[in-house]
Amino acid sequence: MGKGQDKRGRQRGEPRHLRLYHSMLKCSAWNSLSAVERCTYIALAERYNGSNNGFICFSAREGAEALKVSKNTISRALSVLAERGFIEVAEPGSFHVKVRHATEYRLTAYACDRANRLPSKAFMQWRPVGTNGKNTVSLQTSTVPVMTPLS
């Protein structure tokens, strides 16, 4: 009888799932992501099995095929996710004459199994450049003209 199985060999407990915590969904970094970038994060997080963080292989070709977008779009989405702190490159990919090696990523929301590090959750510290939490809308001009009562 293996770990996580009952005496008949059936799995016990919950089926595999992906959790997106409200704290992550409400942070400014998540709200700044486009739909493709969010879908890319979900496709990457779907490969996390609880013990392979830091070893998650994900190539632009695989992502493009899964999300039905171009390789360049996925590459940009991965760059944005890394810049906003959702993922980190654990092992850069390479392309040689005979060997193709996809980049291995680490999700910062979870502990790293490669380096035995705690979750950094770097996305929680991300702030949009130049706003510093202030309103950037100019209050000088009104977009709607002021109406006066008819006399």
Q: Examine residue 149 and state whether it is found in any structural domain, yes or no.
A: no
Q: Examine residue 70 and state whether it is found in any structural domain, yes or no.
A: yes
The number of domains in the chain is 1
Residue-wise pLDDT tens for the chain (151 aa)?
556 677 777 777 778 889 999 999 999 999 999 999 999 999 999 999 989 999 999 999 999 999 999 999 999 999 999 999 999 999 998 877 677 788 999 999 999 999 899 999 999 999 998 755 555 555 555 566 667 777 6
For residue 99, count CB atoms less than 10 angstroms from its CB and return exposed for 0-12, middle for 13-18, buried for 19 or more: exposed
Query: Which domain range does residue 77 map to?
Result: 22-124
Q: Examine residue 4 and state whether it is found in any structural domain, yes or no.
A: no
Q: Examine residue 151 and state whether it is found in any structural domain, yes or no.
A: no
Q: Examine residue 32 and state whether it is found in any structural domain, yes or no.
A: yes
* Residue 74, token pair as written in the block: 């996925």
Q: Examine residue 120 and state whether it is found in any structural domain, yes or no.
A: yes
Q: Examine residue 67 and state whether it is found in any structural domain, yes or no.
A: yes
CATH number, domain containing residue 96: 1.10.10.10
First to last CA, the chain: 88
User: Left if phi > 0, otherwise alpha if psi is -120 to 50, otherwise beta: which for 80?
Assistant: alpha
DSSP 147: P
* Residue 121, token pair as written in the block: 């959750």
Q: Examine residue 137 and state whether it is found in any structural domain, yes or no.
A: no
